[in-house]
Structure 1
Amino acid sequence: MYELKAVIIGAGMAGLSAGIALRQAGYEVEIYEKTSKLRPAGAGISLWSNGIKILNRLGLGKEVAAIGGQMNRMEYRSHKDEVLNHVNLMPLIEQVGQRPYPVSRTDLQQMMLDAFGEADVRMGMRCVEVKQDADSATAIFEDGSTATGDVVIGADGIHSVVRTYLAGEKIEPRYAGYVNWNGIVDASPDLAENDVWVIYVGEGKRASMMPIGGDRFYYFMGCPKPKGTKVEPKDIRAELYETFDGWAQPVQNLIAKLDPEEVNRLEISDIDPLSHLVKGRIALIGDSAHATTPTLGQGGCQAMEDAEVLCRYLLTTNLSVEDALKRYEAERKERVAQLVLKARKRTDTIYNKEPDLTQEWYKQLKDEQEKDVTDALAKIILGGPMH
């Protein structure tokens, strides 16, 4: 179909990916963002090869390589610094045909804003309702204004208003049971080698560093905590020292180097797989459709896959917008549901929901072969639209 108009709610990774793809397809695109200033949720993100392939298709391969880290190996270590396993990622890269790139979320968002046109994103526009008729779909905003197009795309995140319309009820996120601290620090040898993703695990917790562009590390640390705990920024370093007391020296060095005022302290949630991703001329993408815990590193990649598949069906089928969206749903629904549940299961294992299973996982890490790890990663990467 040609000469369509798309209204996108949300200017995060999902909304911008869809906006760039649809505009390149020749469609009129309007993006509406509820905040007055874009601030990414979290400091960094691991973009595996399936997500990078989408960016390559959008013409952003050179740009993402420039902001991404060179991640050649990954290592699991115990909290006492015993090497549990190490994996050379080059065979994986050769198998799937593309290098992964961990990146700063701020750098990634700016790259995508530049590609779409930052001035074209309409800020401070909070969507409160959506509706549709036989010929169009409309978003209604808090100020009373409206935007009407051939299709409305909900990319409005885990607390999605558009999802409420599709589901017929408000779906509350499910607390995953742990707090994640994350941020960015300068790379240095007393933290990790600058081409290695290192993950420390023990006591039902983890601490990790991965290389991103600009000779920096994106770090994240997690620990089970009851929902609703709050800590002032000035007390975060003390909280981390207490949480990771006795852990390996690089973890202690990380806590000493980080800026407490710049740490994101997040209670991690996901949503149960949805029965529908579309309704008529309205579709969900990204976290609004399948918010997941970050333990597989696939949240951003799945948002990009959504955008590619949705755009492809709109462009290559001509029965109706509704038909194209149903084809999008049929291709995406099972994949994203499986990954949400797989990430949930992995989260429970990492964060000690069943201590016996967590201890068994620590033992398995010692016995795991490199090929087993790369084959598991490749299966996820190649299971999407970019084989």
Structure 2
Amino acid sequence: MEINPAVTFRHDRSIMYSKRPKVLIVGAGLGGLTLGMLLHKAGIPFDIYERAPVVKPLGAAMYFNCTTANLFKQCGIYEEFSALGKYVSAIKMCNEQRSVEFSMDFEGHEQEFGARGYMITRPALYDLLMRQIPKERIHLGKKVLTMDQGGNGVLIRFSDRTEAEGDILVGADGAYSAVRQGLYAKLKKAGKLHPSDLLPLPFSTVCLVGQTRPLTPEEFPDIAQEQCQMRRTIGTHKMYSWSTYNTAQNTVAYFLIQFLTGESSKDNDAFKNSEFGPEAVLAMCEDVKDFPVISGGDQKYTMSDLFAWTNKEHISKFMLEEKVLKTWYHCRTVLVGDACHKLNPAGGVGPANAVQDAIVLANLINGLPFHPIAEEIEAAFKAYQEERMPWVKDAHKISQTHRTMVGQSFASKSTRYVSKHIPPWLFNRIQARAFSYRPQVAFLPLAEDNGRVRPAPQPSLYIKGPVELEKKMSYTV
């Protein structure tokens, strides 16, 4: 396939058969899988390419609430999703003496915003999403080397010497996206890249995440609790905070955040990769092994007990970058999730925003005419970024606030004090803004949203696909 942006031709759709654009998705993470599931339901051809040769059960757990519930309802998997998760009614902020300092409560969310919040393990959610996608559409061991795009399509080349051709390229491959790097390199050379996007991803924290084997209530009493016991401990004189969650699979998921100083940050290279090797993982485990853990019983556990219950290959160490990029698309290429906005996980809003990206982008891709030209595709990407950007900026602020809350600075202590003593009316007002954005899929039957706080406007919800428009026209003739 020849990719030449200079190639132009008469685009007469009246003599062409109905053809939806072929979408190439790089990255089988949360955003990529969600988009693939939605494109499959829309009848739009797609393929997902993942650089990892096998899907490993890495990661801990992710939090999803009313802002993504409509998607799962529309796709007919909400009951299974909620059964795989644990209902979260509060975040309990704890100290090293294993007592609760204060609690951030979410009771009443179902009445206010139409759905509860659930903590679900990453492997369970990924398995659920992958079962919604035909197996032949997911290709593992596909490391992107180069990408080209132009007026007549996109072409990506992989390290195994294979190629893929399509009409749209979606970079859903994380904070160090190969798609973004290829796109930005070309834009930089052409002098079209925003100056702030030339800067490296800033980071000030490192995270250690894992999940134990299934435990019994005798081993860890929280396992018997029907609700997720979301406990976040703040180190007294340590540059760390750590959180634990009991899951529906009877495991304990955990993540620790280390706040880097100027010296310790020099030990890490933000240009290489966000994941560290096994030696670095074991070294951090050794550093934090004595940190106290609350079990829900009388046992005086520490992190070393959780590590002992965990397959060491399933513990990961990551850098926590934070940046909302200015450039999300160009021509036939577009970015989603961490590839265009990396949010600190302290706020728990990153996964939900990746899902919301996929919803809006799927709506706009579905709204493209048959045989779309590059200008029409780019216009859809522009509408996608314009709808998502304000909400992503809000999410970035939330993640920064939560990151500050679990730190050791004066600002951290002030933020915790304010959070502990915030008036209920103000807390409810903040939540109303954060949870009003509850996007839905335009081409699926709408989910009933009975929340007292009505959903915020969603422009992409009113986008009609070419098949729907043809049907509407045939009815009026």
Question: Which bracket does the TM-score occupy, shorter chain normalised?
Answer: 0.7 to 0.9
The reply on whether 1:118 has 2:166 as its aligned counterpart is no
2:241 alignment partner in structure 1: 206
Which consecutive unaligned segments of at least 5 residues does structure 1 have? none
| Worse overlay, 231-240 or 278-287 | 231-240
Mapped partners of 1:254, 1:52: distance in 2: 35
The reply on whether 1:142 has 2:159 as its aligned counterpart is yes
Judged with a 3 Å threshold, the aligned counterparts in structure 2 of structure 1 residues 190 and 200 are, in CA distance, closer, same or farther, namely farther
Selected match of 2:175 from 144, 149, 158: 158
The reply on whether 1:176 has 2:204 as its aligned counterpart is yes
Contact 2:405 2:416 in 1 (8 A): no
Selected match of 2:144 from 118, 127, 146: 127
1:303 alignment partner in structure 2: 354
Judged with a 3 Å threshold, the aligned counterparts in structure 2 of structure 1 residues 254 and 107 are, in CA distance, closer, same or farther, namely farther
Mapped partners of 1:308, 1:288: distance in 2: 16
SS at 2:323's partner residue?
coil
2:471 alignment partner in structure 1: none
Selected match of 1:15 from 32, 35, 38: 32
1:347 alignment partner in structure 2: 403
Judged with a 3 Å threshold, the aligned counterparts in structure 2 of structure 1 residues 70 and 292 are, in CA distance, closer, same or farther, namely same
2:326 alignment partner in structure 1: 275
Q: Which amino acid aligns with 1:239?
A: D
Mapped partners of 1:78, 1:167: distance in 2: 44
1:69 alignment partner in structure 2: 86
TM-fit CA distance, 1:173:
3.1
2:307 alignment partner in structure 1: 259
SS at 1:209's partner residue?
strand
Give the 5 Å matches for 1:1-387. 3-39=20-56, 41-168=58-185, 172-184=200-212, 186=215, 188=217, 190-191=221-222, 193-195=225-227, 196-203=229-236, 204-225=239-260, 226-227=264-265, 228=267, 238-242=286-290, 244=291, 252-260=300-308, 261=312, 264-318=315-369, 320-352=376-408, 355-369=409-423, 372-373=426-427, 375-383=429-437, 385-386=439-440, 387=455
Mapped partners of 1:4, 1:137: distance in 2: 11
Deviations 1:292-339 (A, max 9, x none): 210111111111111110111122354722221121121112322342
Judged with a 3 Å threshold, the aligned counterparts in structure 2 of structure 1 residues 373 and 222 are, in CA distance, closer, same or farther, namely farther
SS at 1:283's partner residue?
strand
TM-score by length of 1: 0.88
Q: Which amino acid aligns with 1:150?
A: D
**Bigger strand share:** 1
TM-fit CA distance, 1:110:
1.0
Contact 2:320 2:344 in 1 (8 A): yes
CA RMSD across the alignment? 2.9
Mapped partners of 1:187, 1:277: distance in 2: 46
Mapped partners of 2:410, 2:199: distance in 1: 32
TM-fit CA distance, 1:237:
5.2
Judged with a 3 Å threshold, the aligned counterparts in structure 2 of structure 1 residues 31 and 181 are, in CA distance, closer, same or farther, namely closer
Contact 1:92 1:374 in 2 (8 A): no
Deviations 1:59-96 (A, max 9, x none): 22122112111223332223323433234423123211
Mapped partners of 1:300, 1:273: distance in 2: 15
| Worse overlay, 300-309 or 73-82 | 73-82
Contact 2:231 2:245 in 1 (8 A): yes
TM-score by length of 2: 0.72
Mapped partners of 2:250, 2:164: distance in 1: 43
Q: Which amino acid aligns with 2:44?
A: Y
Mapped partners of 2:19, 2:391: distance in 1: 28
Mapped partners of 1:79, 1:377: distance in 2: 29
SS at 1:258's partner residue?
helix
Mapped partners of 1:253, 1:236: distance in 2: 18
Contact 2:204 2:321 in 1 (8 A): yes
Judged with a 3 Å threshold, the aligned counterparts in structure 2 of structure 1 residues 63 and 201 are, in CA distance, closer, same or farther, namely same
Contact 1:181 1:220 in 2 (8 A): yes
Deviations 1:243-264 (A, max 9, x none): x36x768695252531352562
Mapped partners of 1:176, 1:52: distance in 2: 32
TM-fit CA distance, 1:236:
5.6
| Worse overlay, 338-347 or 2-11 | 338-347
Which consecutive unaligned segments of at least 5 residues does structure 2 have? 1-17, 189-197, 269-275, 441-454, 456-477
TM-fit CA distance, 1:8:
0.6
Contact 1:71 1:211 in 2 (8 A): no
TM-fit CA distance, 1:190:
4.4
Decide which structure has the larger Cα Rg and report it: 2
SS at 2:86's partner residue?
coil
Q: Which amino acid aligns with 2:254?
A: Y
Q: Which amino acid aligns with 1:259?
A: F
Q: Which amino acid aligns with 2:231?
A: V
Judged with a 3 Å threshold, the aligned counterparts in structure 2 of structure 1 residues 382 and 114 are, in CA distance, closer, same or farther, namely same
TM-fit CA distance, 1:287:
1.1
Contact 2:347 2:401 in 1 (8 A): no
TM-fit CA distance, 1:191:
4.9
SS at 1:102's partner residue?
strand
Judged with a 3 Å threshold, the aligned counterparts in structure 2 of structure 1 residues 125 and 256 are, in CA distance, closer, same or farther, namely closer
Identity %: 19
SS at 2:70's partner residue?
helix
Q: Which amino acid aligns with 1:357?
A: A
